[in-house]
A = this chain, B = another copy of it.
Amino acid sequence: MKIHGKHYRSVWPIGESAFGIIDQSKLPFEFVTLELKSAQDAARVIKVMITRGAPLIGAVAAYGLALAIRHDPSDENLTATHDMLAETRPTAINLRWALNRVCESVRNHPRADRAALAWKEAQAIADEDAAMCEAIGRNGLAIIRDLHRKNGGKVNILTHCNAGWLATVDWGTALAPIYMAHDEGIPLHVWVDETRPRNQGASLTAFELGAHGVNHTIIADNAGGHYMQDGKVDMCIVGTDRVTTNGDVANKIGTYLKALAAKDNNVPFYVALPSSTIDWTLKSGRDIPIEERSSDELLKMTGRTPSGTILTVEIAAPGSPGANPGFDVTPARLITGFITERGTCEATEQGLRSLFPAA
């Protein structure tokens, strides 16, 4: 995707001893890139969410692990760094999947070869993610085309959190079909859920859509149900951090509430995902660990002052405690379908197995 006319991915190699990312904590007010030189750097940016989005943190962790292997290619370091990176975010499954891929790529190879192999694997993970998202976009585009054909007018799509190109290596998951539909000339409007407490919708999704010229409106997370009741939402598309075998979906906190409202108003609710997001080891969403994050994310807010500086202000009653679960689980029964790189399917084990029989 382009920023100020220049094509960017969300993560890119810098030679073979460093890689670059966009500092997403500075968006939407400043576009700043960072150069990372170690697995520790990678762990830090994932943990504090300078980089975020389930597919993207998989690629960032893979590059981080590859850098650690260059520094010390021993099995001990491989295991220790794998575990250190895997612990940065407990809910996203791609993170573990990507780290395991890098581990597998070097295991049983001479130590002298490992740095190059790991680096190649990290690049492959990033390239494949971009290709998978492009395929997701094409598969989701067919659904938007159908809706447009049926209603003849503008298609109103609601999305929660940021599952755009900033959440992946390129294109995005939930937003990829939207970009393609827009580029094809289908009239579109996107309701962008603010996505408290970290406001990824208002800051990142709105930034992405605005940069690409897609018509959109930021709304409070509270408002989506009202617009669905009012007939102003034709479909919902969200991303996911982990899908279990039965089709349950962990995604950003609040996704469940939108899925309930969609069901109550007969609005189709789609989840877009690369297959690396499927956790075949878990039977249902009840088994997914839900990350509990700092209550500061809720009780304080960072923004731009009238004089242009970025400042964090307290916004809640002083002394009142907060709780901040990062994700919730949307039961498969509320989901119309999955949009994957191999096509669309029902949110059931049968549906998933129809596209991914070998898994």
Chain B nearest Cβ from A299, distance in angstroms: 7
Residues of B within 8 A of A325 (CB): 223, 226-227
Partner of A264, one of B199, B204, B260: B260
B220 and A324: CB pair below 8 A? yes
Does A341 belong to the interface (CB within 8 Å)?
A: no
Q: Is the CB of B261 within 8 A of A221?
A: no
- Taken together as a complex, chains A and B put the C-alpha atoms of A218 and B299 apart, in Å, by 8
Is residue A110 within 8 Å, beta carbon to beta carbon, of the partner chain? no
Binds B, one of A15-23, A69-77, A188-196, A343-351: A188-196
Which residues from chain B contact A300 at a C-beta distance below 8 Å? Answer: 303
Tell me whether A217 and B28 are in contact in the complex, defined as CB-CB below 8 angstroms, given that A261-B257, A303-B315 are known contacts.
no
Q: A27 CA to B322 CA in the complex, in Å?
A: 18
A203 surroundings in chain B (CB, below 8 A): 315-317
A289-306, CB under 8 A of B: which get 1 and which 0?
010000100111111111
Interface residues of A in 322-359 (CB under 8 A from B): 322-325, 327-329
Mark each residue of chain A from 15 to 52: 1 if its CB lies under 8 Å from any CB of chain B, else 0. Answer: 00000000000011100000000000000000000000
B202 touches A299 (CB 8 A): yes
Whether B257 pairs with A218 at a CB distance below 8 angstroms is no
Q: How far is the CA of A218 from the CA of B300 in the complex (A)?
A: 12
A206 within 8 A of partner (CB) = yes
In the complex, A280 has a CB within 8 A of chain B: no
Report which of B29, B290, B320 forms a contact with A218, defined as CB distance below 8 A.
B320
B317 pairs with A202, CB closer than 8 A: yes
Given contacts A256-B229, A316-B202, contact A222 B210 (CB under 8 A): no
Contact B323 A219 (CB under 8 A): yes
Whether B253 contacts A217 by the Cβ 8 Å rule is: no
> Which residues of B sit under 8 angstroms from A140, Cβ to Cβ?
none
B210 with A320: CB separation less than 8 A: yes
Q: A298 to nearest B CB, angstroms?
A: 6
Count chain A residues whose beta carbon lies closer than 8 angstroms to a beta carbon of B: 67
* With contact pairs A196-B194, A261-B257 given, residues A316 and B206 touching in the complex (Cβ less than 8 Å): yes
B223 and A254: CB pair below 8 A? yes
Cβ–Cβ contact A222 & B261, under 8 A: no
CB of A207 within 8 Å of the partner chain: yes
A71 to B136 CA separation, bound complex (whole angstroms): 68
* A216 interfacial by beta-carbon distance below 8 Å: yes
**Residue A274 at the B interface, CB < 8 A?**
no
Contact A194 B298 (CB under 8 A): yes
A225 within 8 A of B: yes
B301 touches A303 (CB 8 A): yes
* Cα separation A206 to B321 with both chains bound (whole Å): 9
A324 and B223 contact, Cβ closer than 8 Å, known pairs A261-B260, A305-B313, A311-B313:
yes
CA distance A29 to B219 in the complex (A): 26
A206 — which chain B residues lie within 8 A by C-beta?
A: 316-317, 320
Confirm or deny: A197 has a beta carbon within 8 angstroms of a beta carbon on chain B: yes
Interface check A185, CB cutoff 8 A: no
**Chain A interface (Cβ < 8 Å from any Cβ of B):** 27-29, 192, 194-197, 199, 202-204, 206-207, 209-210, 216-227, 229, 252-254, 256-258, 260-261, 264, 290, 295, 298-306, 311-325, 327-329
Can you list 8 residue pairs at the A/B interface with Cβ under 8 Å?
A: A197-B222, A203-B316, A220-B221, A223-B324, A226-B328, A257-B260, A300-B303, A311-B311
